[in-house]
Structure 1
Amino acid sequence: MWRNTLHCWVLIFVLISFSSFVSSKEQLSPKQCEDLGFTGLAICSDCNTFVEYVKDKDLISDCKKCCTEDSDDSTSKITYSGAILEVCMRKLVFYPEIVGFIEEEKDKFPTVKTQYLFNSPPKLIMLGDEGQHKETIRIDNWKREHILQFLQKKVLLNSASS
């Protein structure tokens, strides 16, 4: 009897451990990813870059659930011709880091424009060569220096059309 009970507990422990492992590898739906703010982070190497800016393990885990494996490491070196920093002007009071970036750092990026849209959460809309939207990245909890570092790596400083 004791041996059977022990086997049952071992089996339960193994199943719980396995389910935790499986759930850590699960993929989220595009809608769930967008709700989490990972609309534009489709490549897993971007999650690795994200680790440099954000130290929250839960956010990194969510990022990895929303990404697809990239076949070539060069995809992590994707750059954009510009970006739009979109935010609701009425909500700026809740985002002092973003206000600081707009007031003190944004002028360093001539290809980054600010767009105020009612009720919009803070996000970077990354632009392709023709000005088309390529990715959208929510930046609600980013610090000013993280926005600055991210744009330095991802956005070309000079526009080809200038």
Structure 2
Amino acid sequence: MKVLIYRSDIGIAIATLVFFGAVALVTAKEQLSSRECENLGFTGLALCSDCNTLAEYVKDKELVSDCLKCCTEDSDDATTKITYSGAVLEVCMRKLVFYPEIVGFIEEEKDRFPSVKIQYVFNSPPKLIMLDDAGQNKETIRIDNWKREHILQFLREKVKPLAAD
């Protein structure tokens, strides 16, 4: 039995693949607002490569799609090297029992970061509020599910050490 493929069939197949590839690319590049991302539990500082790693372990396509809509492209440009003068770790004191990693950071590691302050705000999810040189809020990052080592690494990379007096 012979299968005949006509040039027009190949053209239609290629056009279909190009169309669906373009749709997938547009969908992957669609960005959500920072508020929408925060409501979904994404901080806005996740790199797109982190979403790809997530996809390897979590087979929930909707979750990975939401991650890709909230991520930042990986690059070595100046935006990934942004540092802050300080930070405020904001959390609800009543909810701390649900965040043992954050409790561990506050009790055992916080003193290593003198420019990081703890602020207890009723009903607030755990978040880092990143501050500029004037002490103004520049970025808010939810840290609900961060492990202590992730908090430490993030603060080492993003918070400038205090200048020696």
Taking structure 2 as the reference length, the TM-score comes to 0.72
Match of residue 70, structure 2, among 63, 71, 79: 63
Q: Does the alignment pair 1:137 with 2:124?
A: no
User: What RMSD over aligned residues (CA atoms) do the two structures have, in Å?
Assistant: 3.4
Judge conservation of contact 1:97–1:144 (CA < 8 Å) in 2: yes
CA deviation after TM superposition for structure 1 residue 30, in Å = 3.6
Match of residue 119, structure 2, among 115, 121, 129: 115
Question: Does 1 or 2 have the higher relative contact order (CA < 8 Å, sep 6+)?
Answer: 1
CA deviation after TM superposition for structure 1 residue 62, in Å = 3.8
Residue ranges of structure 2 left out of the alignment (5+ in a row): 56-63
Judge conservation of contact 2:84–2:160 (CA < 8 Å) in 1: yes
Q: Does the alignment pair 1:150 with 2:148?
A: no
Amino-acid identity (%): 61
Residue ranges of structure 1 left out of the alignment (5+ in a row): none
Secondary structure of the 2:84 match is coil
Can you list the C-alpha shifts for 1:51-82, whole angstroms capped at 9, x where unaligned?
A: 3xx95343752432xx4898x81221111111
Judge conservation of contact 1:85–1:122 (CA < 8 Å) in 2: yes
In the alignment, which residue of structure 2 is the partner of 1:47? 47
Aligned residue pair count:
149
Q: Give runs of ≥4 in structure 1 deviating > 6 Å.
A: 11-14
Judge conservation of contact 1:37–1:137 (CA < 8 Å) in 2: no
CA distance in 2, matches of 1:128, 1:47: 22
Can you list the C-alpha shifts for 1:111-157, whole angstroms capped at 9, x where unaligned?
A: 00000101101000001101111110011111100000000011122
Tell me which structure has the larger Cα radius of gyration: 2
CA distance in 1, matches of 2:124, 2:26: 35
In the alignment, which residue of structure 1 is the partner of 2:58? none
In the alignment, which residue of structure 2 is the partner of 1:103? 107
CA distance in 1, matches of 2:110, 2:42: 23
In the alignment, which residue of structure 1 is the partner of 2:131? 127
Secondary structure of the 1:105 match is helix
In structure 2, relative to structure 1, the CA distance for the partners of 1:13 and 1:27 (3 Å cut) is same
CA deviation after TM superposition for structure 1 residue 37, in Å = 4.3
In structure 2, relative to structure 1, the CA distance for the partners of 1:40 and 1:62 (3 Å cut) is closer
In structure 2, relative to structure 1, the CA distance for the partners of 1:62 and 1:145 (3 Å cut) is farther
Judge conservation of contact 1:80–1:129 (CA < 8 Å) in 2: yes
